[in-house]
Copies of this chain bind each other. A is one copy, B any other.
Amino acid sequence: MAHFQARIYVTLRPSVLDPAGVAVCSGLHQLGYEAVESVRIGKYIEVALDAADQGDAETQLDQMCDRLLANPVIENYRFELNELAST
């Protein structure tokens, strides 16, 4: 059994409108940052989990993202996996 730390990035698909990002972009313009061209907002999720090995952890994380963490219809996800310790 090994202990893993995953960093998951969930982003809206490029074709999906991001009203929150547009609002933040407009807010930055109002604060004087006119050089900002676009803003897209996503989620960043850190998950600590135990798994038999790297492959097992990746399989579990793919399922978690598809079932709960991301909405596959409008979002993409990717993750990085670090092994912290094995016992």
Contact = CB atoms under 8 A, between A and B. Distances in A.
A81 interface: no
A67 B44 CA distance: 20
Summarize A's interface: helix, strand, loop or mixed: strand
Specify how many copies of this chain sit in the oligomer. 2
Nearest to A36: B49
Given A24-B68, A24-B69, A28-B68, A45 B41 contact: yes
With most chain B CB atoms within 10 A of its CB, the pick from A9, A10, A41, A60 is: A41
13 contacts: A10-B44, A24-B45, A24-B69, A33-B60, A33-B64, A35-B50, A35-B60, A36-B48, A36-B64, A38-B46, A39-B48, A40-B45, A41-B43
